[in-house]
Structure 1
């Protein structure tokens, strides 16, 4: 569920609806990750778990979608090329950084891998729940989007993003 918390403070009844992201938009896939690209666009990723209820406007399993809150529709819905995105997405312009096994830069419009760094390992955790023995990846993206730091077992990997 997505809520406007500022509005909810003045009108708590807004917590009873799904205006910002209708439930039907997600009926086919289980959301495993998400982040805001800007004040209007929300990127969501779905894992392999899913079901088909015939809702063509929903985000299917193993897809990356960009939802426009102001337009109330998907701007993009594309299959993720190689793997599930994992539980953490970091926004970088019109791309997101996905951490599952290793960092990958995904194009939000196409779902394609733009760049990847297989030499930098991160935990394989596909969803935020379950597998509690697997730690969540720890990463930090520089505010200008040029560098990514990822915690390793005994060090911090620093990736320069081009």
Structure 2
């Protein structure tokens, strides 16, 4: 679909694509557009939206500033710890519970402390007074059912590190967000560069194995209930952000979108005309900003912003 220029951000909202940073402009798949003619006068460059489309967060991905919106109304300003903020992606995610309450996950005070808040009121739901593990949380994402919250960040030296928290448990026992046993069975989540939720309690991950002369990437699946690796296969190419398509395939967005077999690690289809950037993990200050793309795993589709429009790719059911 054509747009007046390159989008400033990109999120799915039902069957529409929204550019929150660009003023909440809504692009419908039938080609129609709704522009509320709003502009947020700051250098925000990324956005996330709640599944029901009610709330959105604009943020500076390698900065400290964020802005929580309800529709187009400003609810409140957000911030994160300044420490190394210029180095890695801003940690923020939204999820709407069946009750209608929307949870905001972010790190408002410390890079190593994830908080859950009521988006509407700002009530801190995970207050605690304990010592967290020393991890830089980044690229937060809720599972589709809201049972889990994943973080794909890093630890010193630096080493990529992923962790997953049970959301109901965190609301009852906030200290569980600071557990030292992040992910049993996969070296406590170390060396995992990207994660995405699969079916039921499955987490799909990319693992990096480096030696002095080589770097190898692996694609695996991890059971969050059994706390063990279910499968792992060597990838024929480096992989970055993921979208789980089904039990057989994922889409990898390193360089350009690629459909990858989960059984063999081989690329079975490419969209080489769509640029999705060279980001592998959360630390990306040394790379150009990646183009905007939005994932809709539930409907087996993704959208990529181009210089003059948005390309939508829908994968046929197998």
- The normalised TM-score by structure 1 is 0.76
Q: Is the 8 A contact 2:216 2:238 kept in 1?
A: no
In the alignment, what sits opposite 2:193? 32
Q: Is the 8 A contact 1:100 1:126 kept in 2?
A: yes
Taking structure 1 as reference, are residues 14 and 28 closer, same or farther at Cα in structure 2, changes over 3 Å only?
A: closer
In the alignment, what sits opposite 1:103? 257
1:111 CA displacement: 2.1
Equivalent residue runs for 1:34-53 within 5 Å: 34-47=195-208, 50=210
Q: CA deviation digits over 1:2-35, x for unaligned, max 9?
A: 111210221234334355622x614796222111
Q: Is the 8 A contact 2:205 2:219 kept in 1?
A: yes
For residue 172 of structure 2, the aligned residue among 10, 16, 22 is: 10
- Does residue 140 (structure 1) correspond to residue 302 (structure 2)? The answer is no
Taking structure 1 as reference, are residues 66 and 160 closer, same or farther at Cα in structure 2, changes over 3 Å only?
A: same
Equivalent residue runs for 1:1-162 within 5 Å: 1-17=163-179, 21-22=183-184, 25-26=186-187, 30-47=191-208, 50=210, 61-81=216-236, 83-86=237-240, 88-94=241-247, 95-131=249-285, 133-142=287-296, 143-145=298-300, 147-162=301-316
In the alignment, what sits opposite 1:56? none
In the alignment, what sits opposite 1:57? none
List runs of 5+ in structure 1 lacking aligned partners. 52-59
Q: CA deviation digits over 1:23-80, x for unaligned, max 9?
A: x6147962221110023100110246x36xxxxxxxx941111001122211111111
Q: Is the 8 A contact 2:191 2:208 kept in 1?
A: yes
Take 2:190 and 2:178, find their aligned partners in 1: how far apart are those partners? Answer: 22
Taking structure 1 as reference, are residues 14 and 72 closer, same or farther at Cα in structure 2, changes over 3 Å only?
A: same
Q: CA RMSD in A?
A: 2.8
Q: Is the 8 A contact 2:192 2:205 kept in 1?
A: yes
Q: Is the 8 A contact 2:275 2:291 kept in 1?
A: no
Take 1:37 and 1:134, find their aligned partners in 2: how far apart are those partners? Answer: 29
| 2:176 aligned counterpart, secondary structure | helix
Taking structure 1 as reference, are residues 9 and 41 closer, same or farther at Cα in structure 2, changes over 3 Å only?
A: same
- The normalised TM-score by structure 2 is 0.42
| 1:2 aligned counterpart, secondary structure | strand
Take 1:61 and 1:7, find their aligned partners in 2: how far apart are those partners? Answer: 35
